[in-house]
Structures are given as C-alpha cells and as structure tokens.
Structure 1
Amino acid sequence: MPSDPPSAAELQQERQRALGAALCFFSLLAGYYVLRPVREEMGIEGGVRQLQWLYTGTFVSILVVVPLLSWLVARLRRRAAVPTIYALFVLNLLVFWALIDRVGPEARVVLARVIYVWVSVFNMFAISLFWALMADVFSVAGSKRRFGVVAAGGSAGAIGGPLLTAGLAESLGPGPLLLVAAVLLSMATLGIARLGRWAGSEGGDAPGALGGRWWEGATLLLRSPQLRAIAGYIVLFTSVSTFLYFEQANIVEAAVHDEGERTALFAQMDLATNLLALGLQALATAGLIRRFGVALLLLSVPVLSVVGFVALAVAPVLVVLVAVQVLRRAINFALARPAREILFTAVSPAERYKSKLVIDTVVYRGGDMLSAWAFAGLTTLGLGLSAIAAVGIPVAVAWGGVARSLGRRATAARSDAGSAGDGGA
C-alpha cells in the first residue's frame, strides 16, 4: 500500500533539515577545497622526489584509520560518531596551524609531509561520513525530494573554497589557510551535530556501523568478474592520475617558485575544474547518460588522457599541464564518476557496500602507491617528463580498453533487463 503523503508541517521540517544539511555540506567542501591547494604546496615543500613515499604513507594510513573509525562507529551512535570524528579533524588542523610557521626548516619539511598525508586521508572519509548521516536524517522519499538541494550546497562550497583560497593564498600563505579550513570544518561539525538529533527519526538505522568487515569485501571482490573489472578500471585510473599528478608537481615546481603563488595557482585550477564540472553536470550529464548509457562516459577520460599525454610528451610546460588537468578532472567529476557509480547498481547490496569500500580505499590508494613508485623508477632510469608522458600513453589506452569492456557489459545488462521487463508485461 502507498504510504500517506507527508503533512505540510512534515514538509516544512524536511525543508529546514535540507537547508541545514546544504549549509553543512557547503562548509565541508569549502573547507576541503581550501585544504586541497595547501596539500599540493605541502607536497612540493616535502620534496617532489619524495612524493612516492607520501603516497605510501597515505596507503598505510588508510589501512590503519579504517579499522579505527569502524571501531569508533561501532561503539557510538552514528549521530554522535560523525561529529566526534569531525571534531578530531578540526583539532588536527588547529595543531598543524599552531606548528607550521613556528618550526624550523627541517621540521617544516616533516610537517609538510604529515599534512599532505593527513589531507589525503581526510578527503576519503569526510564526505562518506556526511552522506551516511544524511541517510539517517532523511527518509527514502525525503532524500529524493531534498538531496538535490543538499548536493547544490556542496557544489557551491566546491566553488567558494578555491575562490577564497585564490584570493588569500599569495597574501597569507599556507599556514593561515589551515586556520580558515578549521573554521569552515568547525561550522560543518556544529551543523552536523545539530542535524544528528534527527538521525533515525525517519526510519534510518542510526546505531549501525558503517561499511563492513574488510575480508568480506575483499572476498566478494575476488569472486565477482564485474567487481574485478571495476577494480581494474580503478587501478588504471589511479595509474594515469598519479603519472599526471607527478608531472604536475615537477612542472609547477620548476615554473613557479613562490609558495603563495603556487598555492594560488592550485586554487585557481580547482576553481576552473569545479566551475566546468558544475556546468557539465547541469547541462550535459543526465542527457548523455540517457542517450548513450555509461559506455561513452566511461571512455571519455581515458581518451582525453591519451590526448593529454601526447600533448605533454610534445610540450611538458605549465600551460599545457593546466589545460590537461582542468579538462580531465572536470570531465571525470561530471561524466566518468557518475557512470562509474552506476556500475555498482548491477551488483548485489553486499557487493555494493562491502566491496565498494575496499575498491574506494585499498584498491584506489594501493594503485596510487604502485604508480608513484613506477614514476620514481622511471625517473631513476633517467627518463624526463616528456618520455614519462609517452610511457603513460599505452597505460591510458589499456584503461580505455577496460572502460569499453565495462561499458559493453553495462549496455548488455540494461538490454537484458529491458527484455525481461517486456517479457513480463
């Protein structure tokens, strides 16, 4: 039987929650996008030749942090666990801010590396925790009505954060920006604590733990051809992304010598990426998915990556690097990532939640780490940036092959589902 429609009072309360959640998401993503350019600068300060160690540190930290967060969530109601974890993030930022401009040069290098790893770990959990809580705050019907508003708040934050950083970076430098990010995340934490009072009131499972047992997700991943193919896609995606990221670090280090100017440049790249991605999401994503399915969208970034590597092999200079990175990241956010998430609708709920956690953390960061060491090995062999970009071309081509295979599977699955539906009509 259909449920009774919500009353006017319930809709009003739902609107208030959605507005509060949108403001929280704005603060969260604005804070992250203040931190992101700082992280890139910390990677350069920590030593471009040491980036592979930072990737290794990030991977090891992920393996340590996930069980710790799972332990915390298992012992606290989610409405308390999420703001508690966020408060710990804010405390970490305040410690970094207190130290960064007060330590000596050698300690500054160490701290830069710690901050780089910390931000890389933070961004893997903060948004997942936010949406986990939102699933408890809103009913299924309410989420369909209001999550668009919440997501819009995040999109505004993803634009506001880089805009703020681009305006402040050259005059303030990275240190004070950590305090700006801490203030924004504090605002998000207070809002989430307030929203948490409604967790479970719409039928959500507030006391439950997030994710699942690690070995269950890994076992399901190894058993499923579809999940193995998705994992292969992710490994090749991270390989291409890491090669381009290392090219970026080397080119920017050589072209821009002031730390404030570098931080501002990274913020401007984030701003351009997010504006372009938002425009594509608003104007193209849904229509392209309806017309072409996921196959074309999955192929979009591998094809662009091949073009980007060719361009960098010919001219490894700043203007080419910026154009390649902005276009590639925007198309990934707007087209390829939604298509990738659609692939998980074709697997079981257990595979969707448990194995996805493994793919999004261990496989993703593991691919990052292996690719970082591959880049370091190529530079040790004496290859320059042009030659390494040329090495990236066949990797991107292989990635395109996996994307094409996944797209064909998704198209076939959709056709089978449509045939089954027609047969049962």
Structure 2
Amino acid sequence: MEKDGGVSDAESKPDSGVPDVPATSDDTPEVLNKALSGLSSRWKNWWVRGILTLAMISFFFFIIYLGPMVLMMIVLCVQIKCFHEIITIGYSVYHSYDLPWFRTLSWYFLLCVNYFFYGETVTDYFFSLVQREEPLRILSKYHRFISFTLYLSGFCMFVLSLVKKHYRLQFYMFGWTHVTLLIVVTQSHLIIHNLFEGMIWFIVPISCVICNDIMAYMFGFFFGRTPLIKLSPKKTWEGFIGGFFATIVFGLLLSYVMAGYRYFVCSVEFNNDSNSFTVDCEPSELFQLQDYILPSVLKSLTGWTTVKLYPFQIHSIALSSFASIMGPFGGFFASGFKRAFKIKDFANTIPGHGGIMDRFDCQYLMATFVNVYIASFIRGPNPTKVIQQLLALRPDQQLYIYNSLKAHLTERGLLGALEEAA
C-alpha cells in the first residue's frame, strides 16, 4: 500500500533495527496450575520445572533405546526448532516493515547448510554405502559444487529482495540468519559427529550438562546466597560450585556404567552384508578396565592402593569439568541475548523451561568442545576408512598403492620380517 506521493509503508517507516518482541505468556498446563495453586510462585515454579525435567529425561532415555539413527533425527528436529525460535524473534521485527523474503530465505539457507553438512557426514562415515548406490555416488562426487550452487542462488535472491531505504535492516537480518546458522546448525552437526564416534561420546557430555543444570539449580535454590553474574541474577556461587562437584561424581559413575557395553562405545558403521547400520566392535583400550595407583592422599583416606577404572572415566573428568565451568557460559550468552531483546524466554514450548533453545544453549557449546577433544586426544588414523577409500579406486590405482606400500615396508625391513615369521 502506498501513501501520498507514491511512498510505500516500507519506505516511510523508520529503519530502527531494534526489535519489539512481545513477552511470552504463562503456558503451564491447567492441571498443574490447579494442583499447585496453593503454593507460592517460587515453589510452584520449582515443581513445574521438576515434573517437566523428569518427563524430558524419560523421553531422553527412550530415544537412546531406539538407537543412534533415531538420535540423529531427534538432533535434526531440535536443530530446526531452535532455528525457528531465533528466526521468529527477528521476523517479528522484519515483518513489521513489510519487507520481502526474510522467512523464506532463512529457511532456504537452513536447507542449504543442512544439505552440505549431512552430505559431508554421510560420505565420511558411510563411504561404502555411498559407493554402492549410483545416485549417492554422483551426489557425493559433486556434493560441494551442488552445495555452493544452492547457496549462491539464495545469495542472489537476497540481493534481488533489497528495498530502498531499508538496506541496513535487511543486511542486519541477513547477518542474523547466518549467525543463527553458525550457532545452531554447525553445532548440531558436531553433535552428530560425536554420536557416530560412539553413543557414549553423545550421552555422557549431554548428561553432564543436564546434571550440572539440575544440580546447580538445586544447590542454588536451597543454599544460594551469593550472586554469580549480573546477566543471570538467579545464578549463585553456591549453585555453581555445588553443581561442579556433583557433575564430576555423576560423570565418573555414568561413564563406569556405560563403558562396559559395546552398544554405547562402538562407532556407528554400515554393514554391507546385513544392509543395515550396526553398532558392534571390539572395544578399544579406552573402554577396558585397568589398574590405577591412587595418590597418597586418597590412599590414606580410603585404605586402597589401586583402583580399577576405565580410561574413559579419566576423560570424563575433563568433560564434566567443561560442562560445569564453561558450559554455563552458553546459558549466560543466551541470557544476554534475551535481555538485549527484552524477552524472558526464546519461546514457551516447555512450561517452566521456556523454548527448546533455552534448554540447549549450553549443549551447543559442549558439542564443540567434545568434537575438538576427540580430534585432539582420542581419534587416530582409521584403517577401515582407508581401506574403503582404496577399494573405491580404479584397479591400476590400487596396484600403484600396493606396490608403493610394499616397497616402503620392504625398505624398512618390516615385510621381510613378517614373511619369515609366517
């Protein structure tokens, strides 16, 4: 619609770039409202959060039972919901200026980025499946070119959508979309990478963050007196310290239980014989009990000289420490974001908890750390992946590699020694 002089509403409205987002409403189920009506708001919130937390933990155990591929789909669903919650905040501003294509382009870029990351993951972890199927082999070969072409199309659509006098706001929202993609999609992609290394690398870090969140809340609720940070006035030092020690103990116990099961410690692989995804292997030394000599202080306290532990439990201390010390900064970052836009929660999806993003703000930071930790201290060369890639080469290329490897082993004296031993 145009006003006098042929000036549209979009052009006449000032380009402030500051969102005016309505506050979220109380969406606590009526059943809980009635049951808890006699309690103060503080205790009512405590019970609502507790009941919903138990429900979410039960659902978490259920999807673990369903297996890694279902977990991957759940991660994708969570990613989409988190993206939706953040983009909706921006859209409430952008839509008020009646400017075109923001929501369409945001979801289009989400599709492009997911196509790129999931394509890379499938090619990396399930190379034999990709090489077996002709359509997948073609998509894999030209994957990056297709991904770039898709993104370039979206880039051109954005340029064509620019409206006079609102360039600043439109570029602001373009940056909003890309930062959201960086935070949400990239981190969820790393979570899936961790999952494929073995479900224990997915479950233990996530559980440590959940444990720290719960225990910090509990210690803060009952003992909290000293404010921790201005961004989150309800966070206290008592909760922070209590959550730290509780999470370390929880991580050690959970790791001990899970490290004894192949289902949790083996990486996800595609079995050509059964034509299915499998989780079965011979556990590495990381998941085999070993004797550790206790420090003198612990010897005097416990009377034990040695203790049997899984090496993974030692690594779990690093994971628990990060979840307790650095993980909360993801929540502080989200709190600062919400304060900047004058909202209480990202959404009202979960009563007493806010939106999905409110529950996963710390998880994304944890996912990056776990991925870096595995690459730096755990993962080594994978002979299985190398062999799969060699089998995909032409026969002459395979022979060249065979002769080169044979000459190298002979030169080092290894091949002759092996032949003599045989």
Larger-gyration structure (1/2): 2
What's the TM-score, normalizing by structure 2? 0.28
What's the TM-score, normalizing by structure 1? 0.28
Larger fraction in helix: 1
Structure scoring higher RCO (CA < 8 A, sep ≥ 6) equals: 1
